[in-house]
Copies of this chain bind each other. A is one copy, B any other.
């Protein structure tokens, strides 16, 4: 039936197609199990093709539902074979027991990629059904399958969204450089929704669930080569094939930062991860060894996963681990210095020449150590001098600027000055600032200027540590 008759390939689709390109850049999509029923997964998935502002797939998506001739006003096909166009991607949202048959229909239709959203397989002990599906998949390896028991995918540059997120209840990220892959659908939703509030955008998002075919390693490999992806973040409960993962992860981590949050790291949660996606949990020590060996950066909680993604998206890698802290609040500087040291970073020591210079230009209340405490009446100019000096000092590898935006002397002028310095900065330059409304606004302005900001100094410290950790990985390789 090829070539496709209806529409051009989507913008961004590579020329030499890899199997997984059909997943991320399909020309036509079928939603099998599309439905008009309120609060159903089949409805949410289908609706999402027509929402969230972008509608790149409005004319390229087809509803399949044997019980209805229309779904949400669109023609519905009884069977995927009835669709008069070639289909690159099928999204399956039917009850588990119907999945094997529906999959076979996709095979017959020569569909290249299938996403099975349906739950009810190995994760709840339905081994017979799982094995039946596995056999069919093994017989048809040309069809690449994501899932089952997953949340779907989202592609930043085309707006393709096969998830069943409830439109009014979450936001979608803008196009960008950060990829997220998640074994857990729930965490996937969270990540997508949260990423929408971030300064960076998302290249590809995949919730891959039980990983009966496409697994974390396949996705890592694809994203490693994906020109639109700069940073890869992963939520992982277990690895399907150890050796394959080791080989691919090592290879990818050499080129791009790979940040992993591992779920099920305590003995008490091992059992839960096994039941959750039916994967092998493995001991924490084994995983930590694998991460170290491959150069993967481990995030120990969700906050870190999110903040690491942010810092890697904008910042260059540091040469060494010496951080200069610049603050307008003494105590704020001290807890930050504590956090840096606790993260294995060093407090930089400015060159004697620079110390002398700063002491000359600053009032005697200013403390020219590390932290440089510009004190409560510091204005944009005082910050400018300190930050510029630190950026140029050979003894400084990273600059962490703390700002309490609530003092009388601080205004948006500071954002302007930091933005100017950022343009030519060759070292990581980040800002931490805790507060409410006004602080949020100033942080957003800073992020628009490409400066990552953190709501708490301890998050900035942990993120700088991740940057330094990855700098060492890159030096090693």
Contact = CB atoms under 8 A, between A and B. Distances in A.
A183 B331 contact: yes
Contacts of A364: 124
- Copies of this chain held together in the complex: 2
Given A41-B377, A338-B263, A434 B185 contact: no
Nearest to A442: B169
Interface in A261-280: 261, 263-269, 271-273, 275-277
Nearest to A183: B331
Given A186-B376, A408-B41, A196 B436 contact: yes
Contacts of A39: 408-409
A97 to B, nearest CB: 12
A239 to B, nearest CB: 15
B342 A185 contact: no
A197 interface: yes
Nearest to A347: B268
A408 B164 contact: yes
A434 B334 CA distance: 29
Contact of A331 (B185, B268, B409, B410): B185
A271 B337 CA distance: 11
A408 B194 CA distance: 17
A267 B337 CA distance: 10
A276 B373 contact: yes
A301 B458 contact: yes
Given A170-B435, A301-B456, 18 more contacts: A39-B408, A119-B375, A123-B330, A165-B407, A166-B408, A166-B410, A169-B407, A183-B331, A185-B330, A186-B329, A189-B329, A190-B332, A190-B434, A237-B334, A266-B341, A268-B347, A269-B338, A272-B367
